Amino acid sequence: MPLRLYNTLTRRVEPFEPLESGVVKMYACGVTVYDYSHVGHARNYIAWDTLRRYLLWRGYAVKYVQNFTDIDDKIIRRSHQENVPWNVITETYIQAYLDDMDRLNIRRADVYPKATEVVPQIVEFIQSLIDRGYAYESGGDVYYAVEKFPSYGKLSGRRLDQMEAGASGRVDEEAAKKHHPLDFALWKAAKPGEPEWDSPWGKGRPGWHIECSVMVREELGDSIDIHTGGQDLIFPHHENEIAQSEAALAKPLSRFWLHNGFVNISGEKMSKSLGNFTTIRQMLESGFDPMVLRLFVLQAQYRKPIDFTEEAIASAQNAWDTLTEGLRFGYRHGAALGFGQGEPTALNAPPAPPIATASEAVQRFQVAMDDDLNTPVALAVLFELAKELQKEGNRLTHDGKTLADPAALQAQWQTLVALAEVLGLTVSPDAAPAPDGLSDADIEALVQQRAAAKQAKNWAEGDRIRDELKAQGITLIDKPGGVTEWIRGS
């Protein structure tokens, strides 16, 4: 069965076939670099990192481009507020973004073009639109004439006459320059104190939408296979990209358009304007495991909304604990079972386990991912493998032996590691406890025994278990309501 993806442009799930056999050209709209990235950005880029990883695993060569918007009203405003040059603002937050994505195990793009690096190409592109009658200069600004593009609205499903009715009531300085209320700026005349570049229409800077059309063409060509972004970019940003590129080049901009769902906070869309957002940096610096955030995102299919709540994060933490036990199995027990830790299967080659059960797991994983990246079902395959390994690990810890075939366990573990890597879920071998240390399951069992002892008012037994755990480097934290949490390390 081929990979099938939901195409926003056609509003249906379609078999994916790249323009060039075996090669995928993929573009993701990047961040505007004036602040730290939030959990909504994490959802966005985890989704497209997972798609890219899966395409590589399926054997495609992928060129992945993600831009930085490094000139914008918000950047200029931040520059004035902090009284530092605008490019200091952008470089600061570009590095912060890369650091945050690295910690989430999001592989870096092949290229990160910046808007300010392609201003001459943007000027040339805008001039071509003017020459073809799709754009016009007005008072030092240049606007795209939406009425000249007959299929304007095809991505979002909006009709121009309906949109015009909603926009025609606006009266401001910019509206007075336009031929049509929905015409959008390709070039903005410079205001005093703003960054500026030369152009045939006077000094100014690019509009937001034009930069992506130009960077797609510069890095990937006139037409690409996949263009991605959040649902909030469908209109106007991606709609305007299509209008610009297809008017200038007379070719489809992208074969597939993919959009991820929103992150909600207690049912309300997360956004900076509402002030209900949490930055990735805040979460990770508070001790939050980045793999838990990644797993939280993957527990929903990428097009569905997800609700960011304490309960949902706690559930993701429990799920990650289970996966961690399975992923560390070979590092803990491989030597005792007579097999080495081995090397994880290469990302660009599906694993070929020597036993039927592992092969069947790979097949079910692929069927799920081929179904428009159905990561919840794919994760269920991983949890099955992890739980079986966890059970065998407990036998080895308590009884010193296993009833399973060591070769089968090795294949199962290597399959789990390989499939988890496709989803970007990894544990570090050197972070795993020594083979003779307590597993997470062992610790939980002892915590429960201590709770039972305290319930029976057997304080001596409760203290003994606490001291035993402390000797193993496990610190217990008793909280109100009889809840006990634990951490490794004193």
pLDDT of the chain along its 490 residues, tens only? Answer: 799 999 999 999 999 999 999 999 999 999 999 999 999 999 999 999 999 999 999 999 999 999 999 999 999 999 999 999 999 999 999 999 999 999 999 999 999 999 999 999 999 999 999 999 999 999 999 999 999 999 999 999 999 988 875 554 555 677 889 999 999 999 999 999 999 999 999 999 999 999 999 999 999 999 999 999 999 999 999 999 999 999 999 999 999 999 999 999 877 777 666 666 789 999 998 888 999 999 999 999 999 999 988 899 999 999 999 999 999 998 888 887 887 655 444 444 444 444 455 689 999 999 999 999 999 999 999 999 999 998 888 888 777 777 678 888 998 999 999 999 999 999 976 544 444 466 666 787 788 888 888 888 888 888 888 888 887 778 888 877 777 877 765 4
Adjacent-strand bridge partners of 135 = 144
Residue 435 has a pLDDT of 42
Residue 111 has a pLDDT of: 98
Closest CA relative to residue 47, chosen from 350, 336, 372: 372
Cα–Cα nearest to 159, from 174, 176, 141, 146: 146
Give the per-residue pLDDT at 437.
60
- The predicted pLDDT at position 357 comes to 56
Does the pTM of the predicted model rise above 0.75? yes
